[in-house]
Structure 1
Amino acid sequence: MTYHDVKANRREILASVSAAGLTLSFAVAPKAGAQGAGVTPLNAYVRVAPSGVVTIMAKNPELGQGVKTMLPMLIAEELDVAWENVRVEQALSDPKTFGRQFAGGSMATPLHWEELRRVGAVARAMLIQAAALAWNCPPGECSTTPGNVLHKASGKSRTYGSLALACATITPPDPKSLTLKDPKTYRIIGKATPQYDVAKIVTGAPLFGIDVVRPGMLFATYQKAGVFGAKVASADVSGALAVKGVRKAFVVEGTADAMSPPGSLGQGLLPGVAVVADTWWAANKGRNKLNITWADHPTSSQSSKGFAAQAKALSAGKGQRTTRNDGDVDAALASAAKTVEATYFYPYLSHANMEPQNCTAEFKDGKLEIWAPTQNPEPGRQLCARTLGMKPEDITVHMVRAGGGFGRRLANDYMVEAAWIARETGAPVKLLWTREDDMQHDHYRPAGFHTFRGGVDAAGNLVALHDHFVTFGNGTATSNSAGMAAAEYPAQFVPNLRYEISMMPSGIPTGPLRAPGSNALAFVFQSFIDEMAHAAKADPLAFQIKLLGDKPVVGTAPAAYGAGRMAGVLKAVGEMSGWAGRGKLPKGEGMGVACYYSHLGYFAEVAHVAVAPDGAIKVKKVWVAADVGRQIINPHGALNQVQGSVLDGLSEALHQQITIDAGRVEQNNFTDYRLMRISEAPAVEVKFVITEFPPTGLGEPALPPVIPALTNAIFAATGKRIRSLPIQTDMLKA
């Protein structure tokens, strides 16, 4: 089965005492390869005050996904403390103490499900030991209720707060020796819990990167070229310096082009001109007075139209590389009872975080302190150290709550810009991008072009499939997030299957967007499978289940696919949605189904749409069946993640695209890069199918299948196929 059962190789518990009470530290050496060689983090998570209040550190960045609540819940459960007596603090970026700290890949749950529960279990065991010593009884005679240790035989009871100082003399037990709670006894895990900061969020309390204030802080803007990576040929900054409140304006030569090696997330400082002022408004006004001449750059010759023309020419020929070749595709297509050919396209997308990129930096006495809403703080620290010629240990990174991430804040370009400007300025500086900066200097979800051929036999079986994928890259390396695995479904389920890939060079920076790769591949593959189902004159949902076969698992690790789990969610979503009765829908309405495996989760979704005679689309409802294992840690957060993913995917499909002309982005703001409006949002019904597998993440896997579920529903309603995104309603007019 495909899942990551992440365990530690070595654990060590240390205890120290201060006036505040007990502090527990938990050192974890993760699986080989999970971190850099030789890294042995020492993780301090728990403080128990004499009052009995327990402070738990949240180790990972909080982006709105609820991890600041969910991870401490794991510790609190095994510690056996009432949630109302828990206080949560955001940890610093400190890999020596906390190991890897990042938000991405929906990995918070699989990486921490066991380890953080053991943190709480060890803390509880130490408190029991301290009480047993005080009562001169075996620890086995003691038990706990939330916040208290009990000795049932004598009726004695001690609060955690009263035992905290005594833990200084306790040798922590081996975490492996401890038995974790039976899930039937959970008091916190599995209970719907609001996000920890929700009261502050709804009252506008300063929590986000954009809210950071430092004594003597100045404000900065940073002008980069419209053409990605172009350098400053010349700059007249006198107009900016003439603006009241502007302190400095200067050219930054930069250290990197917009395009860095695949996987590097554009790690470098791009050329530009900085303006620093007493207020952001003055800095931005000064920026508008700059007179900059940008150097020529090869990317200026690139455009969306040019990429489309290249892709069309490449698609007509043989792929540059064959990444998978099972059976004899050409022979199977030649003998198939019915064949289908189709070309699909999806565009570049921007992350469109509600909070634009920002960072506050302070350089003083050779040390750098940073407050950043980053998803990936340690690479940001390393980037600043390399760029500024500093030691990483001289840089402190505060992880500040982010107003959305979706993969954009895995790159730290805004962090290194702020750090450079702060060093040159000699004062604390807050760099704040405009919405236009954010839209035009993103690391975009890459566009892609797919040409499919498929065949079904007389019995309605999918017997052949060929995909020629045209994407971006050079040589054998695709651009960031622009690749496709050889095991991409339905590989391993179709006897004759060939995947080919061709690549076009590009200067457009790309990177992961929520459910990287999957957000695009699900659309094209699940839409084409729906085409094949109709070619076979089969019920699309039944066709999907038939394609999965009768084996619970197909393939071997790392490409093992839980066919039984996917069939389970398909059957569940069919029942939830009343799929069997879809034939009774009024004219102009339809239901579509799609499924997808990503980020260790198995999801099937049905969309119900109505298409008006003028082509207007109304998504009436979406049903989601999800298999993410045996435990939903926080049902409140889980539901939010699934519903948010569905709405995010619908918004992308209905409205969003980034187009390139002369090497620069044409879109500027939400006026020409539309997001879904509240009035467009459908009801989203969610069912979690509980299975015996370890729990996995929920931030991403619900997004990919909703897009093909939508387009397949539109076909059911109109008979017209959507093979290009975003959906153009003009083609749907009656």
Structure 2
Amino acid sequence: MRDIALARRGFLKASALVGGGFALAASIPMAARAMAAEQAEGGMLNAFVTINPDNTITIIGKNPEIGQGIKTMLPMLIAEELDADWDQVRILQGDTDAARYGPQLAGGSFATPMNWIPMRQVGAAARQMLLAAAAQTWGVEASSLTTEPNAVVHAASGRRASYGSLASVAAGMQVPDLAAVPLKDAAQFRIIGRAIGGIDSPRIVKGEPIFGVDTQLPGMVYAAYERSPVYGARLVSADVAAAKAQAGVIDAFTIEGNGKADELVDGVAVIASNWWLANRARSALNVQWDQGEWANHSTAGYTAQAAEAWASGTPQEVLNNKGDFAAAAASAAKVIEAEYSYPFLAHVAMEPMNCTALMHEDGRMEMWAPSQTPQGGLAVVASYLGLPQDKVTVHITRMGGGFGRRLTNDYMVQVAAIAKRMPGTPVQLIWSREDDVRSDFFRPGGYHKFKAAIDGSGKLVGIQDHFVTFDYPAGGPFNPASMPASEFPANYVPNVHYGMTKLRTAIPMGALRAPTSNALAFVFQSFLDEVAQASGKDLPSLMLELIDGAGPEQGGRGPAGPTPGFNPARLAGVTRKVMEMANWGTPAAEGRAKGFGFYFSHQGYFAEVVEASLDARNQVVIHDVWCAGDVGAHIINPHGALNQVEGSIIDGLGQALQLAVEFEGGAAKQSNFHNYQLPRMPMVPNLHVEFVKSDNAPTGLGEPALPPVIPALTNALFALTGKRVRKLPIDTSQFA
């Protein structure tokens, strides 16, 4: 991961503060791109450190905080190399500024690999400047000095100076070359590896207004946005006069979309003195929509189309054709087949979509946005308004969850379109929960028809999958409804045939925590458990057999630069660890059974074991989940890491047990928590999490722990009942 260290053209700028003190602005060029879709070269990443005369240190948190702990973790990296006293550190959220901060995003578990070296170099450079300031002040060699938390020490003379007392002098020191500053050895870490609570947690517990929906501005009005429940529909008419006649309503008007579902769809804005009045007035609009062909789309229709695609026997495209699967199946001692499916899912973050916008009289747009991709939101708003990007300011607010939904900034464009009509008046757009569920960018559903060939020795010699998924008719927003050609175990089986057929849809699709992986882990690890059973072994044994003797795969390039390829040794490490944790092979208690699941995603390796039973009503009861994860050599903040892993596991169990969005008449049937029930405290099992340290740079933790828990649960239910779960969410009637 030194490959993503900073180039020599990285630089720092130091400046003295009024009244004493020192501010350090670090401009760090990186080869990485924020997202694959962004093609601009030379993105700039800036970290800002301010040292005050009172010896407090202010560090800017550049990335959006959605509960993943990044506002705490990234400053920890700077503070570690700065040798800061964490109790004297203050953290402030930075605004959206690509030129100053480089990529600002919360998604893909990218933050750790993108910033592990750069943030540490920022802190190390600041420390070097403080050492230089003390050396000049005392007339000694900088090499004779060391640091303690927030202080420089000269052991030979016993002198000691606080960072605050040296800050003004440090501001005049030569800025070191970032690529050359020495970094601490891991044995010296005091902050990295320390469990530190979220910097905002005390404020959240006290109910302080720090979320996007808490934004309050003088003279602010509130908006609701009526849009068609049928995806792809166009507005025909609306009775805006009737809406305006409602109590408290200030204005109502139609808005024409720009033809992009991820930016702006046709709708009607209702503005009122408070949001409840605006939302209530929507019922008077009597909106008429042209629903076109999409009103005929439904979940049942898609399922029928998938069956037709399988019956045809020929996928639209071939993803992987290695060896000769047909010949392997023809000569196999045993061939097994199975059909799997999973539904569309909604994000339902606790804080629904919202954004506040103020179109200034001089034509500038200012926004307060809870966005996971604020730079993308700024760009699309500027484009929609026809403004230069420097005329749009986006303040990043804390978010009440995102899980990928806030990667798409349609709500930002909606409020920009409304505020454009009301210059000088701040407008806060808030979605109802019904808006949030029905107007989501859903995790796409999918259908898989598998076949496996097993030879006379019980070895898997061939695997075939006809994957039926979804795509937009032409273009459309980001589409995560795909499958990699190398999906495990493709590289470890001699004969492979993966094919894909795409069904046309207008349903908006988007990334949901561990996108693609959260679905593929279920179907592949469940089917491999079937293969293992047919081969006379268990799934962990099959996994270890498949990778026996294999070395690391070739890496690629991601948003953080070069990435290592899949490493079978790390799969083996977490598999053996979780087997040890769960006493795998030892019979479970009476009426219980255990299941195993593994998955590699977002550069993290996770193996998990679930122990489950059925109650008197044949409802699933989950007793324990054991989880072993390998995300590199360091767990930067164990407190945040544990939160992320446990939250991922609970999310995955909820998806397996009870979550699905169904479509009828071109619209989502689910609308709120009464028919889209998230997991709650009573269903949470005992969670046992351990990390397997490996000699690799640390990677992200927001997503990779989720995928394997789903097949671990379904495989446990097979071990318990002898009946396979091949469709999600789990239908417990099959266990009766």
The two structures have a TM-score, normalised by structure 1, of: 0.96
Mapped partners of 1:320, 1:229: distance in 2: 25
The two structures have a TM-score, normalised by structure 2, of: 0.96
Who is 1:570 aligned against? 575
Who is 2:633 aligned against? 630
SS at match of 1:313: helix
Mapped partners of 2:32, 2:702: distance in 1: 25
Equivalent AA in structure 2 for residue 669 of structure 1: N
1:45–1:57 CA contact under 8 A, matched in 2: yes
1:546-695 map, 5 Å: 546-554=545-553, 557=556, 560-581=565-586, 583-587=587-591, 589-695=592-698
1:459 aligns with 2:454: no
Equivalent AA in structure 2 for residue 350 of structure 1: A
1:280 aligns with 2:296: no
CA positional deviation for 1:360? 0.6
1:34-53 map, 5 Å: 36-39=39-42, 41=44, 43-53=46-56
1:357 aligns with 2:350: no
1:41–1:99 CA contact under 8 A, matched in 2: yes
SS at match of 1:622: strand
2:450–2:463 CA contact under 8 A, matched in 1: yes
1:146-545 map, 5 Å: 146-258=149-261, 266=262, 268-316=263-311, 317-364=313-360, 365-426=362-423, 427-473=425-471, 480-545=479-544
Equivalent AA in structure 2 for residue 460 of structure 1: G
Mapped partners of 2:471, 2:517: distance in 1: 18
Mapped partners of 1:195, 1:640: distance in 2: 10
Share of identical aligned residues, percent? Answer: 46
Mapped partners of 1:62, 1:665: distance in 2: 29
Equivalent AA in structure 2 for residue 586 of structure 1: E
SS at match of 1:150: strand
CA positional deviation for 1:477? 8.1
SS at match of 1:114: helix
Q: 1:642 to 1:5 in 2, by over 3 A?
A: farther
Report the more deviating stretch, 327-336 or 216-225: 327-336
Q: Deviations over 1:674-711 (max 9, x none)?
A: 11121111111001000101100000000000000000
CA positional deviation for 1:414? 0.5
CA positional deviation for 1:152? 1.2
1:222–1:274 CA contact under 8 A, matched in 2: yes
Q: Deviations over 1:11-47 (max 9, x none)?
A: 1111112216211111111116556435452624100
Equivalent AA in structure 1 for residue 584 of structure 2: W
Mapped partners of 1:458, 1:622: distance in 2: 35
Equivalent AA in structure 2 for residue 358 of structure 1: N
1:614–1:732 CA contact under 8 A, matched in 2: no
Q: Deviations over 1:616-660 (max 9, x none)?
A: 100101000000000000000000000000000000110000011
SS at match of 2:202: helix
Mapped partners of 1:578, 1:54: distance in 2: 47
Q: 1:5 to 1:398 in 2, by over 3 A?
A: same
CA positional deviation for 1:296? 3.0
2:239–2:284 CA contact under 8 A, matched in 1: no
2:221–2:427 CA contact under 8 A, matched in 1: yes
Q: Deviations over 1:254-305 (max 9, x none)?
A: 11243xxxxxxx2x21110001111111111212221211123221121111
1:615–1:731 CA contact under 8 A, matched in 2: no
Q: 1:523 to 1:476 in 2, by over 3 A?
A: farther
CA positional deviation for 1:584? 4.5
CA positional deviation for 1:240? 1.4
CA positional deviation for 1:327? 0.9
2:23–2:171 CA contact under 8 A, matched in 1: no
CA positional deviation for 1:461? 1.2
1:42–1:99 CA contact under 8 A, matched in 2: yes
SS at match of 2:490: coil
Equivalent AA in structure 1 for residue 574 of structure 2: V
Q: Deviations over 1:206-252 (max 9, x none)?
A: 11011110111000000000111322101111221112211100000
SS at match of 2:238: strand
Count of residues in Structure 1 that have an aligned counterpart in Structure 2: 721
Mapped partners of 1:553, 1:711: distance in 2: 29
Report the more deviating stretch, 632-641 or 420-429: 420-429
Mapped partners of 1:498, 1:135: distance in 2: 72
CA RMSD of aligned residues (A): 1.6
Who is 2:560 aligned against? none
1:351–1:406 CA contact under 8 A, matched in 2: yes
Mapped partners of 1:607, 1:626: distance in 2: 15
Who is 2:117 aligned against? 114
Mapped partners of 2:190, 2:417: distance in 1: 48
1:322–1:498 CA contact under 8 A, matched in 2: yes
Mapped partners of 2:219, 2:189: distance in 1: 48
CA positional deviation for 1:566? 0.2
Mapped partners of 1:248, 1:99: distance in 2: 39
Who is 1:263 aligned against? none
SS at match of 1:586: coil
